[in-house]
Amino acid sequence: MMPDTPRQNTRPFVDFQNVWLAYNDELLAQNNFAVEDISLQVGLGEFIAIVGPSGCGKSTFMKLTTGLKMPSKGTIHVDGSPVTGPLKISGMAFQAPSLLPWRTTIDNVLLPLEIVEPYRSNFKAKRKEYEERASKLLQSVGLGGYEKNFLGSSQAACSSVRVFAVP
């Protein structure tokens, strides 16, 4: 976290209030929670990292923040609105790269724009603009010049860049 971020007078961007999650009804009935009583706030532009042993709930926290899972108890707001479903403004780089081997590097980066609205509807018209943006992102991780290659040894970098493909 950035140490001197002024937070007290600004609305948090991510706001967890007493959030608990059991992954299903059976676990809920057993009071078996994957995460318990998370309350935290993250400011706009603030960078945080969550570190902990396997199974402590890092991925669960991300699923809750991005609306892929709804809390069993507590409330989550992002940018002032309650999270009620998957958030389009979020991107996730998975532990496994999750790339499509039959697509080139740049076409893997562009995949979210081909699938997610509102980008999907104007993808053909804006393809050049999106490609330029994707190229710059690839350059930023040392993959400049590899746009049209099929995936080689840089899959983790390509997968990370895909998170930022959506403008």
Ligand X SMILES: Nc1ncnc2c1ncn2[C@@H]1O[C@H](COP(=O)(O)OP(=O)(O)OP(=O)(O)O)[C@@H](O)[C@H]1O
Binding residues (CB under 6 A) for ligand X: these are: 23, 34, 52, 54-60
Query: Which one of ligand X, Mg ion, none is in contact with 54 (Cβ closer than 5 to 8 A by kind)?
Result: ligand X
Query: Which one of ligand X, Mg ion, none is in contact with 3 (Cβ closer than 5 to 8 A by kind)?
Result: none
- Give the list of residues 6+ apart from residue 75 with CB closer than 8 angstroms, or none: 15, 16, 17, 18, 19, 82
Query: Which one of ligand X, Mg ion, none is in contact with 110 (Cβ closer than 5 to 8 A by kind)?
Result: none
Beta carbon of residue 34, minimum distance to ligand X (angstroms, whole number): 3
| Structure tokens, 86 | 């998957």
Query: Which one of ligand X, Mg ion, none is in contact with 17 (Cβ closer than 5 to 8 A by kind)?
Result: none
Residue 15: CB atoms within 10 A of its CB come to: 19
Beta carbon of residue 39, minimum distance to ligand X (angstroms, whole number): 17
Beta carbon of residue 151, minimum distance to ligand X (angstroms, whole number): 23
Binding residues for Mg ion restricted to 31-70, rule: CB under 5 A: 58-59
Beta carbon of residue 55, minimum distance to ligand X (angstroms, whole number): 4
Angle, in degrees to the nearest 10, between helices 123-140 and 155-162: 130
When asked if residue 93 is in the footprint of Mg ion (CB under 5 A), the reply is no
Asked if 78 and 128 count as a contact pair (C-beta separation under 8 A), the reply is no
Residue 20: CB atoms within 10 A of its CB come to: 17
CB closer to Mg ion out of 16 and 61: 61
Task: Tell me the residue nearest to Mg ion as measured from the CB.
Answer: 59
**CB-based burial label for 129 (10 Å; 0-12, 13-18, 19+):** exposed
4, 41, 105, 123, 154 from 161: Cα distances, Å: 28, 26, 10, 18, 11
Residues forming contacts to Mg ion in the complex (CB under 5 A) are: 58-59
